[in-house]
Amino acid sequence: MPFAPESFPQDTAQGLVTAAGPAPLVVVQGLCKQFPGGAAPALQGIDATVFAGRMTGLVGPDGAGKTTLLRLMVGLMHGNAGSVTVAGHNAATQAEAIHEVTGYMPQKFGLYEDLTVLENLTLYADLRHVVGKARQERFQQLLHFTDLERFQKRLAGKLSGGMKQKLGLACALLGNPRLLLLDEPSVGVDPISRRELWGMVRELLDGGMGVVWSTAYLDEAEKCDTVILLNQGVKLYDGPPKSLLQSVAGRVFQARGVQEHDRRRVLTHLLQQESVMDGVIQGRYVRVTLREGATTPPLEHGEWVAAAPCFEDAFINALGGGPGGRSRLAESMEVKPVTDQAVIKAQDLTKCFGNFVAVKDNTFRIARGEIFGLLGPNGAGKSTTFKMMCGLLQPTHGKAFVMGLDLKTATSAARSRIGYMAQKFSLYGQLNVLQNLKFFSGLYGLGGRLQKERIDLMVSIFDLHAYLGMNAGVLPLGFKQRLALACSVMHHPDVLFLDEPTSGVDPITRREFWTHINGMVEKGVTVMVTTHFMDEAEYCDRIGFIYRGENIATGSPDDLKAMARTAAMPEPTLEDAFITLVERSDAAREGAA
């Protein structure tokens, strides 16, 4: 039975192109941008075209050059070579003309948080010369369109992420622009708002507007009419997402029926096969991408089922394949003692900041050698929960136990058994790589020969040789994250807390991280991880869905998907499941109110 592709409604992606006829709105030719003091160029020889009436996805991990490209398009930066033309105007010399016809929403939405919704709109309307009766009409229209009518008097800072995003969009739309540039509009926004925004922007295309939507979420890219795929300043692909998916068509398979406890070992084994280019855990299945022309390797248990390729498969393919399945990090570790007790336990964990309830009655247990993921949009309370578990925040009420202890008051011996990798890069930027490694190993009481051995091992595993003398603050993002992981595991912790460990990194580094995590879990390390990538949550044994501070559901990825399964949606994705569960939770809240 062929597996139903987990793709998105296809009707939107077509039809529009033919309606308006492709008219080039933005033409980028041979564009290069080098920042003074920057090691590598931010953009290298980019050629791209943006058409009116189409949704162009600007896709890539952090540091790929997405924001730089957008800023070059809107004339806020000048390139070192090449040209950008927007609606016939040269971005370097005629920026004023471009500003007249362009709506631009920067990251963080460009809103004044201490002005109200209406005041923000009025400001941008004045700046864009939308006056008189036209303004009233436009305001009505936009407020209705964004569903912000009820919140006109509310301060922008008091809006939720999703509402801020809509207001930012409304402000960018004020002058009836021909080109709309959106810089990571979906960061920090819950999946429902993301979908709503997507729908709204889609509507705009009908009017012939050209839209550039930059994103680090590869699943969003699949829904665009056309994508520009960037990685480290280099364009990897430019064209409809379908064609990119074509590159891995027929090479993606799921191994089904693998024993639950055996998935990670199977994956490791598969990744070592010559025929396998890339592979991940996907709920209870193992998903692999084969090399071109290769056939599926034999399985001990279960069977191979063809799967629909997704954008990430294609991305990895474009980058030349995944990192393989061996984790030398995990191999160097000893097996952690077996216990039947929950290693991590949260009981009615609640945290209030003033009137704001950041986390409410969160309860879960994590067993030894288990990966537990907290999944939810930014600001949902993941990090707060996390910090309470680590003893960094005092719960308002409820209890957090790690290995039976409250970490806030635990002895230093107990705390030396955990490892912690913070959400954003939090090593010492002014210290070089070696000094960071020395510091963190010393902090965990390592010294003498053992310290030296461990440092050498980390350097070799994470390929840090070339960077040893470089300040950690100026490392490429991927190496920053590698160094952070190295620093948090050098003392071989029993429990590992990872707060968004792969946020912003390219898919290859992500694969590498998960290889290590999987390897360590096999050795009995317990891992608690937060993420806002839905696909990454699939790698976890169990997930807690966090929404508005509440844990709305806990279970294995497949359990959670099952909760959302309906006749209309027989094979829901994790995102579908999340949205369904959020809607149920909202309905329950409203019902209660």
Partner 1 sequence: MRRLWALIRKESLQIVRDPSAILIAFILPIILLFIFGYGVNLDTNRVRVGLVLEEYTAQTNALAATLRGSKFLAVTQGHDRREMQAALTSGALRGFLVVPKGFTAQTAAGGSAAIQVIADGSEPNIASFVQNYAKAVTALWLAQQTMGGNDATPQTGAGNLHQLLAQPPNSTATIQAKSRFWYNPELKSRNFLLPGSIAIVMTLIGTLLTALVVAREWERGTMEALMATPVTITQLLLGKLIPYFFLALSSMAVCFLAAVFWYDVPFRGSFLALLAVTSVFLLAALGQGLLISSLAKDQFLAAQVALISAFLPAFMLSGFIFEISAMPTPIRTLTFAFAARYFVSALQTLFLVGNVWPLLLSCMGAMGGIALVFFLITARKSVKRLDA
Partner 2 sequence: MIAFFRRIRALIGKELLTLFRDPKVRIILIAPPMMQLFIFSFAATLEVKNVSVAVLNQDNGKHGLALVHRVAASPTFTRMVFVQSQAELVPLLDEQRIIAALHIAPDFSRGVESGQGASVQLIMDGRRSNAAQIVSGYITSIITAYSMEISKTSGGTPPPALTIERNWFNENLIYLWFTVPSLVAVLAMLITIMVTALSVAREKELGTFEQLLVSPLVPWELLLGKTLPAILVGFCEGLMIVAISVTIFRIPFTGSFLLLAATLLVFVISLVGIGLFLSSISSTQQQAILGAFVFLVPAVTLSGFASPVENMPHWLQVAGLVNPLRHALIPIKGLFLKNMPAIDVWANIWPMLIIAVVGLVLSGWFFTRRLE
Does residue 408 interact with partner 2 by CB under 8 A? yes
Binder among 108, 301, 397, 399 for partner 1 (CB under 8 A): 108
Return the number of the residue (174 or 388) whose C-beta is nearest partner 2: 388
Sheet with 418-421: list strands edge to edge.
Answer: 397-402, 344-353, 356-366, 550-555, 542-547, 371-375, 526-531, 495-499, 418-421
Q: Which of 3, 8, 112, 428 is in the footprint of partner 2 by CB under 8 A?
A: 428
- Report 6-65 residues binding partner 1 (CB under 8 A): 35
Q: Restricting to residues 169-198, which ones interact with partner 1 according to CB under 8 A?
A: 171, 175
* Burial (CB count <10 Å: 0-12, 13-18, 19+), residue 570: exposed
With CB under 8 A as the contact rule, the residue among 11, 96, 260, 340 that binds partner 1 is: 96
Q: Identity (one letter) of the amino acid at 362?
A: N
What minimum distance in Å lies between the beta carbon of 71 and partner 1?
A: 6
Question: Residues 394, 460, 463, 571: which binds partner 2 (CB under 8 A)?
Answer: 394
For 537, counting Cβ atoms within 10 Å of its Cβ (0-12 exposed, 13-18 middle, 19+ buried), the class is: buried
Q: Which of residues 463-502 bind partner 2 (CB under 8 A)?
A: 471, 487, 497
126 binds, among partner 2, partner 1, none (CB under 5 to 8 A by kind): partner 1
Collapsing DSSP states into helix, strand and coil, what is residue 119? helix
- Cβ atoms of residues 389 and 497 within 8 Å: yes
Among 54, 66, 99, 223, binds partner 1 (CB under 8 A): 99
Query: DSSP characters for 13-63?
Result: GSSHHHHH---EEEEEEEEEE--TT-SS-SEEEEEEEEETT-EEEEE-STT
Nearest to 108 by CA among 167, 173, 195: 167
Cite the DSSP H helix spans in 102-160.
Answer: 117-127, 132-146
Is residue 118 involved in binding partner 2 (CB under 8 A)?
no
Residue 504: closest CA among 486, 466, 478: 478
Nearest approach, Cβ of 33 to partner 1 (angstroms)? 8
Residues 6+ apart with CB under 8 A from 35: 42
By beta-carbon proximity to partner 1, the closer residue of 113 and 571 is 113
Minimum distance, C-beta of residue 142 to partner 1, in the bound complex (Å): 16
Size of site (CB under 8 A) for partner 2: 40
Closest CA to 550 of 351, 394, 402: 351
Which CB sits closer to partner 2, 26 or 418? 418
Tokens representing residue 474 in the block: 């100026």
Helix (H, G, I), strand (E, B) or coil at 1: coil
Minimal distance, residue 520 CB to partner 2, in Å: 18
Helix axes 132-146, 117-127, angle to 10 degrees: 130
Question: In Å, what is the CA distance from 518 to each residue of 119, 245, 263, 335, 524?
Answer: 51, 27, 10, 13, 10
Q: What's the closest the beta carbon of residue 21 comes to partner 2, in angstroms?
A: 50
Q: Least distance (Å) from partner 1 to the CB of residue 472? A: 20
Nearest distance from residue 472's CB to partner 2, in Å?
10
Query: How is residue 539 written in tokens?
Result: 């790698």
Query: Mask: binding to partner 2, 429-448, rule CB under 8 A, as x and -?
Result: xxxx--x--xxxxxxxxxx-
| Contact positions with partner 1 (CB under 8 A) in 140-169 | 155
Would you count residue 363 as binding partner 1 (CB under 8 A)? no
Rg, the chain, Cα only:
25
The closest of 124, 126, 179 to 156, measured between CA atoms, is 124
Q: Which two tokens stand for residue 288?
A: 């692999």
Q: Which is closer to partner 2, CB of 285 or CB of 420?
A: 420
Question: How near is the Cβ of 76 to partner 1 at its closest, in Å?
Answer: 5
For residue 439, the minimal CB distance to partner 2 (Å) is 5
With CB under 5 to 8 Å by kind, the binding choice for 127 among partner 2, partner 1, none is partner 1
Residue from 46, 77, 410, 472 in contact with partner 1 (CB under 8 A): 77
- Residue number, 363 or 423, with CB nearest to partner 2: 423
Residue 422 makes contact with partner 2 by CB under 8 A: yes
DSSP lists the bridge partners of residue 362 as: 349
Considering CB under 8 A, how many residues would be counted as binding partner 1? 36
Supply the minimum distance, in Å, between the C-beta of residue 98 and partner 1.
9
Binding site for partner 2 (CB under 8 A): 387, 390-394, 407-408, 411-413, 415-416, 418, 420, 422-432, 435, 438-447, 471, 487, 497
Binding residues (CB under 8 A) for partner 1: these are: 35, 71, 74-78, 95-96, 99-100, 102, 104-115, 119, 122-124, 126-129, 131, 155, 171, 175
